[in-house]
Amino acid sequence: PTAIHRQDYTPPDYRIETVDLEFDLEPSSTRVKARLAITAAHDRSGGARPLVLHGDALELVSVALDGRVLGAGDYRLDDKGLTIAAPPPAFTLDIETRIDPAANTQLSGLYVSSNVFCTQCEAEGFRRITYFLDRPDVMATYRTTIRADRAAYPVLLSNGNLVEQRQVEGGRHVAVWHDPFPKPSYLFALVAGDLACNEDRFTTRSGRDVTLRIFVEHGKQARTGYAMDCLKRAMRWDEERFGLEYDLDLFNIVAVSDFNMGAMENKSLNVFNDKYILADPEIATDADYAGIETVVAHEYFHNWTGDRITCRDWFQLSLKEGLTVFRDREFSSDMRSRPVKRIQDVRSLRARQFPEDAGPLAHPVRPDSYIEINNFYTATIYDKGAEVIGMMQAILGQDGFRKGMDLYVQRHDGQAVTCDDFAAAMADANGVDLGQFKRWYSQAGTPELAIEGSYDTRAGAYEMTVTQRCPPTPGQPDKAPMHIPLAMGLLDAQGQDIRLRLDGETADAAAPGRVLAVTAPRQTFRFVNVPQPKALSVNRGFSAPVNVTLAQGGAERAFLMAHDSDAFARWEAGQQFATDLLLRRAGEIQRGAPTPFDPAFVEAVGQILRDESLEPAFAAEAIALPGEDYIAERMDIVDVEAIHSAREALRQAIATSLRADLERIVAANASPGPYTPDAAAAGRRALRNVALGYLAASAAEAPGTADRLLAAYRAADNMTDRMAALRLLVDLDGPQRQAALDDFHDRFRDDALVIDKWLALQALSALPDTLARVTALLGHPAFALEKPNKVRALIGSFTAGNPLRYHAADGSGYAFHADRTLALDPINPQVAARLLAPLGRWQRFDAGRQAKMKAALARILAAPKLSPDVYEIASKSLA
């Protein structure tokens, strides 16, 4: 496989103005007729250029140019597509292809999921439907005719407006759709099936009456209410926050059970993984509800940031994804608690994106090359991309950011553009220079900030020195300094923010917190007129996605935990305090000499438990320890056993010292009545379940723990509490564990999404025989390699979510991973490749594990007929 380079971009030689598609749907043999109106994009002084249409896994039936059927000598077919050497400057091309949707296990292009025809065309799936200029800078208007058996597929959908529907001979019917908005082929969609529908309406602020429909399997309509509510809230929010209004009379969503990702923003016909639509208290956890809110909003927001304004080429993917994640985060922050949302996003960034940025797959937010674009739907493109947008807002302010968005839409509506175009709109609307800031797009790696502060009592001045460094990443050994917006503050002895003024600023610049522009490799900020500070608070709100080194003792961290005016920074102080303790304990475990934990930490946790002024959702986050993966990132050589033991020991120490507080929290936050998914109720459940988790950590001291958890499992009247109890039980060997797992399976055996949870829970267990159980579950009727949700639930949970057992010293976890990858690759290479990242982290482990991880990667690479997807990840991981 060969790499594609950003620098090689050239505009298309031909434009496709209109696309007329006709589908004759049969599961194993679907006929697709495409009529394309094509014009040469360049002046032809140098003669006609060849027209190269992409195609993949297509059977060509016929091709005609301006009505003349072409013979084999008139065009060339190869594994990349169809080439016509010298077409006229403007012409019509009629192409007929035959495809086999039922055999499409890759789930890219047109496929069948539980008897429903559906498409997934991003990134390059349209070429698996017909020959086409399948690149995002070719935007056309589409008219789509769908013909199918009326009884089996009563619902026929595509993008845009329904212009005609009629019955035809042979028990078939036809629907014709027309989408007036030009779009790239990756936004094309078609759905046909026997689906139930939940219909609602929304009136836009300018008075457009929009019909909203959510299509799901029959019997599941009752589970679509929350998604519909989210959609309407998202539509209103986008009008209010960004002035962006929906632009058609119809907005359709379809949920399917087999989907490679979460959802897809096809113009006016979003297609979703069931997981991000279906919810009721019996089957969905609070996290599931929050996920639905985020993903429904995200796909809707793409209507402007992705569909109306799209990417020029796939190197610009973050243009739409980073921006749209930023927008969905802002939406969720407005719907829920902003600090809690920020904490959760940072946890996820540190768990997924920071390791990616520190490993062999590190790439810039705007990558320079790729082999397989499907491998670049990464945490860096999405989540770091969203951080970059968030930093722009931090620099420009919310009003300045809005001005930039307005200009971006005004300039580029209907176009396929670049990240530079976006940054230019932001800069021009605000009259600022974002030249240095744009290095966030081009330089990979997580910057490290070393911060030192010192107070000069005599001068009444505080100096903060910041040194920045960005570690080398593949292909980028040296980095230039970044522009880092660093929010910070100083607290006095009462925990109040000190008003801060930089040397040289006038008195009216003084403010209780500042956002500093860190731009140089080493920079000192001198604040004047400062009374004696007690604690320094940095990177408030996680204003920049960086790692900070700041020498702070336990007392200072505990003080910040209790007093910082920035809620995120309070949480962060607790995380860093816990991380210090856990790293120290892990080292002591390795040396065989554990010492007691600093009681100041346990006391600080106790204070949080007793502080009734705190939002429960925040308290839940504030008392939850950093994950094992985060601690691992901070160790020179990862020792999964020592990390696990250290973390368990700290959990036990907290449980032992704070038992009474924890019991009170569990009792006080018991469900007050029927389940509601709102943020406040979810926060109480979260706090209660974290407290229950601590109590379960001391199972050895409290012998009735397993019975208690089984009782909690049985008493639960919602999936959040049921799962919380079961998650704790699966780590305890005993009859209660099996009783609960069996009960769970029996209750929910017909609910695929819930059985995914059952698979995942078992894969996440800390018990030593977990791999054997996971291997046995591969043969369970509920599992199928063809179903991405099952693969992610069972295999993905084990390989990415269970470091203790995945990194077993004997290498069994790695061998399992290689075997599963090789089995999955011929079925669904996208999913196989996306699961592979944990093997690439071998540099972080001891020599024995390194050798076994590399051997697993080498075994994958040695396989004949590997997909480009898996080849790219495995080869880069070994490099």
Catalytic residues, by residue number, are 299
Among the residue ranges 258-266, 669-677, 719-727, 850-858, the one whose residues contact ligand HT7 (CB under 6 A): 258-266
Question: Which one of residues 128, 183, 298, 688 is an interface residue with ligand HT7 (CB under 6 A)?
Answer: 298
Inter-CA distances, 695 with 653, 707, 767, 863, 876, Å: 10, 13, 18, 48, 43
Residue 751 corresponds to which tokens in the numbers above? 């609910």
Q: Give the residue with the Cβ less far from Zn ion, 324 or 718.
A: 324
Q: Are 573 and 557 within 8 A, CB to CB?
A: yes
Q: Give the residue with the Cβ less far from ligand HT7, 99 or 642.
A: 99
Q: Is 575 in the site for ligand HT7 (CB under 6 A)?
A: no
Q: Which of Zn ion, ligand HT7, none sits in contact with 122, Cβ below 5 to 8 A by type?
A: ligand HT7
Among the residue ranges 115-123, 167-175, 523-531, 731-739, the one whose residues contact ligand HT7 (CB under 6 A): 115-123
Distance (Å, whole) CA 113 – CA 131: 23
User: Which runs of E-coded beta strand occur in 51-139?
Assistant: 51-54, 59-65, 68-69, 76-78, 81-84, 90-99, 109-113, 116-120
Q: Is 260 in the site for ligand HT7 (CB under 6 A)?
A: yes
Q: How many CB atoms lie within 10 A of CB 466?
A: 24
Residue 522 corresponds to which tokens in the numbers above? 């080493």
Q: Give the residue with the Cβ less far from Zn ion, 276 or 289.
A: 276
Q: Are 174 and 168 within 8 A, CB to CB?
A: yes
**Burial of residue 673, with CB atoms counted within 10 A of its CB: 0-12 exposed, 13-18 middle, 19 or more buried:** exposed
Q: Give the residue with the Cβ less far from ligand HT7, 186 or 845.
A: 186
The alpha-helical segments, DSSP class H, found in 275-384 are 286-301, 317-335, 338-348, 354-357, 379
Q: Is 299 in the site for ligand HT7 (CB under 6 A)?
A: yes
Beta carbon of residue 374, minimum distance to ligand HT7 (angstroms, whole number)? 5
Taking residues 304 to 323 in sequence order and writing x for each that binds Zn ion by CB under 5 A, - otherwise, the string is: -----------------x--
Contact partners, residue 597, CB within 8 Å, separation at least 6: 581, 585, 649, 650, 653
Distance (Å, whole) CA 851 – CA 869: 23
Among the residue ranges 120-128, 450-458, 642-650, 712-720, the one whose residues contact ligand HT7 (CB under 6 A): 120-128
Q: Give the residue with the Cβ less far from ligand HT7, 252 or 430.
A: 252
Helix 770-777 crosses helix 812-824 at what angle (to 10 degrees)? 20
Beta carbon of residue 219, minimum distance to Zn ion (angstroms, whole number)? 29
Distance (Å, whole) CA 843 – CA 638: 10
829-858: which residues touch ligand HT7 (CB under 6 A)?
830
How many residues line the site for ligand HT7 (CB under 6 A)?
15
Q: Give the residue with the Cβ less far from Zn ion, 264 or 687.
A: 264
Instruction: Please compute Rg for the chain using Cα positions.
Output: 28
Q: Is 258 in the site for ligand HT7 (CB under 6 A)?
A: no
Question: Which one of residues 123, 231, 752, 857 is an interface residue with ligand HT7 (CB under 6 A)?
Answer: 123
Q: Which of ligand HT7, Zn ion, none sits in contact with 264, Cβ below 5 to 8 A by type?
A: ligand HT7
Q: Is 122 in the site for ligand HT7 (CB under 6 A)?
A: yes
Q: Is 264 in the site for ligand HT7 (CB under 6 A)?
A: yes
Beta carbon of residue 68, minimum distance to ligand HT7 (angstroms, whole number)? 37
Q: What amino acid is encoded at 299 in this protein?
A: E
Q: Is 274 in the site for ligand HT7 (CB under 6 A)?
A: no
Q: Give the residue with the Cβ less far from ligand HT7, 184 or 453.
A: 184
Q: Is 124 in the site for ligand HT7 (CB under 6 A)?
A: no
Distance (Å, whole) CA 53 – CA 70: 15
Q: Give the residue with the Cβ less far from ligand HT7, 157 or 831.
A: 831
Distance (Å, whole) CA 694 – CA 663: 10
Closest C-alpha to 546, from 538, 537, 554: 538
Question: Which one of residues 187, 261, 831, 866 is an interface residue with ligand HT7 (CB under 6 A)?
Answer: 261
Beta carbon of residue 276, minimum distance to ligand HT7 (angstroms, whole number)? 10
Q: Is 374 in the site for ligand HT7 (CB under 6 A)?
A: yes
Q: Is 318 in the site for ligand HT7 (CB under 6 A)?
A: no
Pairing of strands 76-78, 81-84: antiparallel
- Note the residues at the interface with Zn ion (CB under 5 A): 321, 324
* Residue numbers at the binding site for ligand HT7 (CB under 6 A): 120, 122-123, 260-261, 263-265, 298-299, 302, 321, 374, 377, 830
